[in-house]
A and B are shown apart, each in its own frame.
Chain A
């Protein structure tokens, strides 16, 4: 069953076409990795899917019904380039705020999530005193309290060292095992490929391909990045 479907989605910024007629679907419980050079339209696409941005044209379906932005927002977790954290608050205060918004009483669960993301020791520190990688981990940790149906992650590995990349990869795999859908954009070819059930490559607002992982090897993705003069991770 498709959780999300896009039909002929276009996005125009004045004269510039950011997305030119995107058709795609996301099945329940699958992970799609979006590759593409900077400016290809990955962030725009993820913002449209998450309901933050409206398309100029096209149809979106959520659970086979016409899209309501407020519906998807209640069921999705979106991690963009910014962390969506209150930087003056401590780690625990940020998590507590989310817990209250979701009317959850499981303080123990918050502790487990923070431990799992290596942030328990820093729980009383203000977010603005954390490293970039820690902020990113905390931003992702929030998604685990929310327990949404779909995780939309725009460059989730930015600022993470090798050890934490592996840890986050394992966590995203756990999400998949729980039957949640995941949409990721990344420049990290190996990690993105390993996670994906399907791989997509976006260029100038259009898909060059969207195929099952087995049909695409990493050399092809590296080759595409090379041909576009971009460094892939």
Chain B
């Protein structure tokens, strides 16, 4: 109970920080809109192509907007060494990690929902909103994987002077299975391809469990030194 209490206190604090500082979610939303506009100009996204291009475009947007947002939530902890308030409290390193994962997850889900909405409007592809219930498992598992890994690596890299530059180089290779699973499952659902999305959903679930276990173990060492 105390474990989750600390995690919820951290989540609540991050929501307040976002409401006051608008440094994470608003930047993510702006970047995702910007990327969607760029892809709209750069690619031939006519009615006949949009369905096959959507998974790739959307997961690229999710990935890069996510990196930006998670980097910012970790920076908020490093500014003024604010995270030491949590370190010198009864909250365990594990509840600290869970709290940060929850807040990153919340911001990522909001960003993704807005991105899907922007996408439907910009690309004249309302079908994607109608298919949201089928897309949701893949989206949620992918987002959870992003948050589990991103929370760990963003906290690790923000300790370095080159943190925001380093983050994509460390984070992207590790989340490749999630991106692959997310793109493939979305492609299968949107384009009715054979093979079924279930296999990819299962792969993402396995990676999420793996990411969770490893990150939970490592987070303590990252905040201790």
Partner of B13, one of A80, A86, A126, A142: A86
Cβ contact within 8 Å between B85 and A142? yes
Q: Does A87 count as interface, using CB distance less than 8 angstroms?
A: yes
| B21 proximity list for chain A (CB < 8 A) | 88
User: Which of under 10, 10 to 19, 20 to 34, or 35 or more describes the interface residues of B?
Assistant: 20 to 34
Q: Digit string of A4-23 for contact with B (CB within 8 Å is 1, else 0)?
A: 00000000000000000000
Q: Does A93 count as interface, using CB distance less than 8 angstroms?
A: yes
Given contacts A93-B16, A126-B20, contact A85 B80 (CB under 8 A): yes
Question: Which residue from chain A places its CB closest to the CB of B99 in the assembled complex?
Answer: A101
- From residue 67 to 104 of chain A, which have CB atoms closer than 8 A to chain B? 69-70, 73-74, 76-78, 80, 82-90, 93-94, 97-98, 100-103
- From residue 147 to 204 of chain A, which have CB atoms closer than 8 A to chain B? 148
CB distance from A64 to the nearest CB of B (A): 22
Partner of B9, one of A73, A100, A148: A100
Q: Secondary structure of the B side of the interface?
A: helix
Cβ contact within 8 Å between B88 and A73? yes
Cβ contact within 8 Å between B17 and A89? yes
Q: Does A53 count as interface, using CB distance less than 8 angstroms?
A: yes
Cβ contact within 8 Å between A101 and B82? no
Q: Digit string of A41-75 for contact with B (CB within 8 Å is 1, else 0)?
A: 00000000011111000000000000001100110
Kindly state the separation between the CA atoms of A77 and B86 in the bound complex, as whole angstroms: 11
- From residue 174 to 225 of chain B, which have CB atoms closer than 8 A to chain A? 224-225
11 contacts between A and B (CB under 8 A): A51-B224, A53-B225, A54-B225, A74-B90, A84-B82, A88-B17, A88-B76, A100-B5, A101-B6, A103-B5, A146-B88
Binding site for A on B (CB under 8 A): 2, 5-6, 9, 12-13, 16-17, 20-21, 23, 76, 79-93, 224-225
Having A73-B87, A100-B12, one finds 10 other A-B pairs with CB under 8 Å, namely A52-B87, A77-B88, A84-B82, A86-B82, A88-B21, A89-B17, A97-B9, A102-B90, A146-B89, A148-B88
